[in-house]
């Protein structure tokens, strides 16, 4: 260590690894507030917390893992304790919270009270190319019900997502849960004669581009294929014209609740799976209504696809309707901040037995960033501690006693512990966003007083956010008060009775 400090060449660079970031108070305050609020909603619905390890055996994760010497595509993986021949099990960091839940449920199935309802939050890792706002580690918060095939279990998950968004601070009317069912599209394709898995996937991918390409572009992708502006050709799903029109008619049904279900019945009817999907959505509609979730909170939207192949029934997506403007002044919609659906095959990977399951995952980091950008975050008001200025080194004990008194009253407070003078100490307090600085020098000690400098006021004045005269009348900026009134004086600055 001391050796390393000797020469420049041997010193490591101080930087976060590519695609990873440090997060400071402001980011964390938002994220923790969201996690606390959403967890409280989940617990009120009877979901219990579960924490699984960061690592899983790579074969348990399944997805993303090709048959390769080093299964490191998409996930961060390493070989645990390889022997002399290089043999040893591969472990990988979890890339979501669903795969570990499936492993946990399979491992403990016999002893769990069923249906098993759990929520979980924590970081997940993706070994992908990072980009702006796209990191290789981020926080998710999930709730899942394992062991219930009832559509009401889906409805409950949707209701929790709606309530969770409100609890997280999204204003009423600024978010919507969109619901669809894989069974509807599957039924539609069955009546159109599509049974090949690859073709089904191509149809799902085509529909997923509706927002971007519009019906005409999607029509090409459902048929033979589409050439984009650059001239690049994307092979289509190969549906005939009649089948493609049926799919487009399906996706053209607008988002809504009872009315949408009625129209879907008209375009879908005929296949057993489609009818089953419709019955599921009808049951979800009834349960949502009795849970108090109306069309302003959750709607059926036939254009919602959701990428993951493992969904087998209802799929959900949470869309944030809040907008913001980017650095170029263009208005930006945040779009999806979470999603989920019914997956009935994940546990079967381990046990061979199909277990019905449904769940939802919040992208917490993304939601926090969206709320912050939209100015809806509580942390905008974040304040640092009251700083007790060190005027006289011989009086440290007294300064500590002052800070202790403030803390006992519930006020965050600290004694300045650097070596700088008064001016630098005031600057420090300002940079910490301290509401106030306490100054007790020779005069104050002699008179049994303390001087309080209102730093909130200083910042407000410098930003021009307030009427100087009115503020100055109420808050004189700096006052000297009897020592016994110090805590109450700070309380006035904090707008709280201490």
**Under rule CB under 8 A, which residues in 67-96 are in contact with a copy of itself?**
72, 76-78, 80-81, 89, 91, 93
Does 11 interact with a copy of itself (rule: CB under 8 A)?
yes
Tokens of 170: 């999204």
Residue 434 CA to its chain's centroid (Å): 29
Using CB under 8 A as the criterion, what x/- string covers residues 198-237 for binding a copy of itself?
A: ----------------------------------------
Name the one range near a copy of itself by CB under 8 A: 164-172, 214-222, 383-391, 481-489: 383-391
Does 245 interact with a copy of itself (rule: CB under 8 A)?
no
By beta-carbon proximity to a copy of itself, the closer residue of 302 and 363 is: 363
Residues 135-174 that bind a copy of itself (CB under 8 A): 137, 145, 147-150, 152-153, 156
By beta-carbon proximity to a copy of itself, the closer residue of 214 and 421 is: 421
Burial class (CB in 10 A: 0-12, 13-18, 19+), 9: exposed
Q: How far is the CB of 320 from a copy of itself (least distance, A)?
A: 23
3-state per-residue secondary structure call for 430-476: HHCCCCEEEECCHHHHHHCEEEEEEHHHHHHHHHCCCCHHHHHHHCC
By beta-carbon proximity to a copy of itself, the closer residue of 24 and 212 is: 24
For residue 3, which phi and psi values (nearest 5 degrees)?
-60, -45
Does 184 interact with a copy of itself (rule: CB under 8 A)?
no
∠174-177-180 over CA atoms, to 5°? 150
Residues 318-377 that bind a copy of itself (CB under 8 A): 345-346, 348-352, 354
Name the one range near a copy of itself by CB under 8 A: 48-56, 224-232, 262-270, 294-302: 48-56
By beta-carbon proximity to a copy of itself, the closer residue of 20 and 233 is: 20
CA distance 144 to 124: 17
Does 59 interact with a copy of itself (rule: CB under 8 A)?
yes
**Residue among 23, 227, 235, 333 that touches a copy of itself (CB under 8 A):** 23
Q: How far is the CB of 428 from a copy of itself (least distance, A)?
A: 5
**Residue among 9, 22, 66, 230 that touches a copy of itself (CB under 8 A):** 22
Does 383 interact with a copy of itself (rule: CB under 8 A)?
no
Q: How far is the CB of 194 from a copy of itself (least distance, A)?
A: 17
Does 285 interact with a copy of itself (rule: CB under 8 A)?
no
CA distance 260 to 278: 11
Q: How far is the CB of 125 from a copy of itself (least distance, A)?
A: 7
Classify residue 147 by its DSSP letter.
Answer: S
**Residue among 167, 202, 320, 387 that touches a copy of itself (CB under 8 A):** 387
Residues 113-132 that bind a copy of itself (CB under 8 A): 113-115, 117, 123, 125
CA distance 303 to 472: 57
**Residue among 50, 190, 261, 460 that touches a copy of itself (CB under 8 A):** 50
CA distance 323 to 302: 24
Q: How far is the CB of 150 from a copy of itself (least distance, A)?
A: 5
**Residue among 201, 241, 279, 401 that touches a copy of itself (CB under 8 A):** 401
In 3D space, the residue among 399, 400, 419, 489 whose CA is nearest the CA of residue 453 turns out to be: 489
3-state per-residue secondary structure call for 124-137: EECECCCECCECCE
CA distances from 189 to 199, 270, 347 (A): 9, 11, 27
- Beta strand 436-439 with 478-482 is unpaired
Residue spans of beta strands (DSSP E) within 96-235? 116-125, 137-146, 175-181, 225-227, 233-235
**Residue among 165, 185, 291, 357 that touches a copy of itself (CB under 8 A):** 291
By beta-carbon proximity to a copy of itself, the closer residue of 163 and 319 is: 163
Does 195 interact with a copy of itself (rule: CB under 8 A)?
no
**Residue among 37, 62, 295, 324 that touches a copy of itself (CB under 8 A):** 62
In 3D space, the residue among 139, 132, 128 whose CA is nearest the CA of residue 64 turns out to be: 128
Q: How far is the CB of 215 from a copy of itself (least distance, A)?
A: 32
Does 99 interact with a copy of itself (rule: CB under 8 A)?
no
Q: Is the dihedral of CA 42, 358, 98, 292 positive or negative?
A: negative
Element (H, E) at 339: strand 331-342
Does 385 interact with a copy of itself (rule: CB under 8 A)?
yes
Please list, residue by residue across 205-242, b when 16 or more beta carbons sit within 10 angstroms of its beta carbon and e when fewer do. ebbbebeebeeebbbbbbbeebeeeeeeeeebbbbeee
Residues 432-461 that bind a copy of itself (CB under 8 A): 432
Q: How far is the CB of 142 from a copy of itself (least distance, A)?
A: 14
Element (H, E) at 276: helix 272-290
By beta-carbon proximity to a copy of itself, the closer residue of 232 and 397 is: 397
By beta-carbon proximity to a copy of itself, the closer residue of 152 and 444 is: 152
Residues 407-436 that bind a copy of itself (CB under 8 A): 407, 410-419, 428, 431-432
∠33-35-38 over CA atoms, to 5°? 105
For residue 153, which phi and psi values (nearest 5 degrees)?
-65, -40
By beta-carbon proximity to a copy of itself, the closer residue of 30 and 319 is: 30
């Amino acid at each position: 260590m001391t050796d390393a400090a000797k020469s420049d060449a041997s010193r490591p660079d101080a930087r976060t690894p590519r695609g990873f970031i440090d997060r400071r108070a402001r980011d964390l305050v938002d994220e923790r507030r969201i996690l606390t609020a959403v967890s409280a909603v989940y617990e009120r619905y009877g979901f219990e917390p579960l924490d699984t390890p960061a690592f899983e055996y790579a074969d348990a994760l399944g997805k993303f893992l090709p048959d390769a010497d080093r299964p490191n595509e998409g996930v961060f993986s390493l070989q645990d304790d390889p022997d002399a021949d290089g043999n040893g099990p591969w472990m990988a960091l979890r890339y979501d919270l669903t795969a570990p839940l499936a492993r946990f449920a399979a491992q403990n199935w016999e002893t769990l009270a069923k249906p098993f309802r759990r929520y979980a939050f924590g970081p997940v890792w993706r070994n992908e190319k990072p980009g702006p706002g796209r990191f290789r580690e981020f926080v998710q918060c999930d709730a899942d019900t394992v062991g219930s095939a009832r559509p009401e279990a889906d409805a409950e998950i949707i209701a929790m997502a709606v309530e969770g968004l409100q609890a997280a601070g999204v204003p009423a009317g600024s978010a919507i849960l969109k619901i669809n069912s894989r069974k509807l599209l599957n039924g539609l394709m069955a009546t159109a004669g599509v049974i090949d898995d690859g073709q089904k996937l191509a149809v799902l991918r085509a529909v997923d581009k509706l927002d971007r390409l519009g019906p005409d572009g999607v029509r090409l992708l459902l048929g033979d294929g589409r050439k984009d502006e650059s001239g690049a050709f994307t092979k289509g799903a190969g549906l005939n014209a009649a089948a493609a029109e049926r799919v487009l008619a399906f996706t053209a049904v607008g988002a809504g609740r009872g009315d949408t279900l009625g129209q879907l019945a008209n375009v879908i009817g005929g296949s057993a799976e489609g009818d089953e999907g419709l019955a599921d959505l009808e049951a979800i509609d009834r349960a949502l209504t009795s849970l108090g979730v109306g069309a302003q909170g959750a709607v059926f939207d036939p254009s919602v696809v959701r990428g993951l192949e493992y969904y087998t029934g209802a799929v959900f997506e949470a869309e944030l309707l809040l907008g913001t403007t980017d650095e170029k002044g263009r208005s930006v919609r945040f779009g999806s901040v979470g999603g989920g659906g019914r997956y009935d095959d994940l546990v079967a990977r381990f046990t061979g037995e199909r277990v019905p399951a449904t769940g939802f995952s919040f992208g917490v980091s993304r939601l926090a960033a969206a709320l912050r950008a939209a100015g809806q975050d509580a942390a905008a008001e974040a304040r640092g501690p009251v700083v007790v200025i060190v005027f006289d080194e011989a009086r440290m004990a007294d300064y500590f006693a002052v800070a202790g008194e403030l803390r006992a009253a519930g006020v965050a407070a600290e004694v300045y512990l650097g070596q700088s003078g008064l001016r630098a100490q005031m600057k420090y307090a300002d940079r910490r966003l301290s509401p106030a600085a306490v100054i007790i020098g020779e005069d104050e000690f002699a008179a049994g007083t303390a001087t309080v400098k209102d730093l909130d006021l200083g910042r407000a004045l410098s930003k021009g956010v307030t009427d100087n005269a009115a503020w100055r009348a109420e808050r004189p900026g700096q006052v000297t008060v009897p020592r016994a009134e110090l805590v109450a004086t700070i309380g006035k600055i904090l707008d709280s009775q201490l």
